[in-house]
Amino acid sequence: MEFADPAAPRLSAPLSQHARARMQQRGIGAEVLERLLDYGRVAHDHQGATILYFNGAAREKIVRDEGARTKRRLDKWQDAYAVLGRDGEVVTVGHRTKRICRH
């Protein structure tokens, strides 16, 4: 019988081992990932995966729903993104260095 790690973040989407490692390596916490899942703009990579990232509208919605204080805490991670597989599992996370192509 396997028990869940009590220190592991409780998220609305399952995490792959790769995503857990990347979260730790890249300093992207569970709060940032949860906000990406809740508010992130959706783009498709045309290979079956979904990319979630913060855009201006997402940041404005965070302010409306949760207040400016939460937005200020998340400002450091405004370039964060998450990739979801076809099954809805978070495959990886990272920081954008280029624009996300949306066509």
Q: Are 54 and 78 in contact (CB under 8 A)?
A: yes
User: 70 to each of 20, 57, 101, how far by Cα in Å?
Assistant: 23, 15, 28
pLDDT digits (tens, 9 = 90+) for 14-54: 899 999 999 999 999 999 999 999 999 999 988 889 999 99
Could you write out the DSSP letters of every residue in 40-58? PEEEE-SSS-EEEE--HHH
Of 43, 58, 51, 54, the C-alpha closest to 91 is 51
pLDDT for position 75:
82
Q: Are 39 and 54 in contact (CB under 8 A)?
A: yes
User: 40 to each of 23, 93, 96, how far by Cα in Å?
Assistant: 17, 13, 13
Greater confidence (85 vs 9) lies with 85
Compute the distance between CA of residue 16 and CA of residue 53 in angstroms, rounded to an integer. Answer: 18
pTM above 0.85, yes or no: no
**Mean per-residue pLDDT for 69-79?**
84
Q: What are the domain boundaries of the chain?
A: 23-94
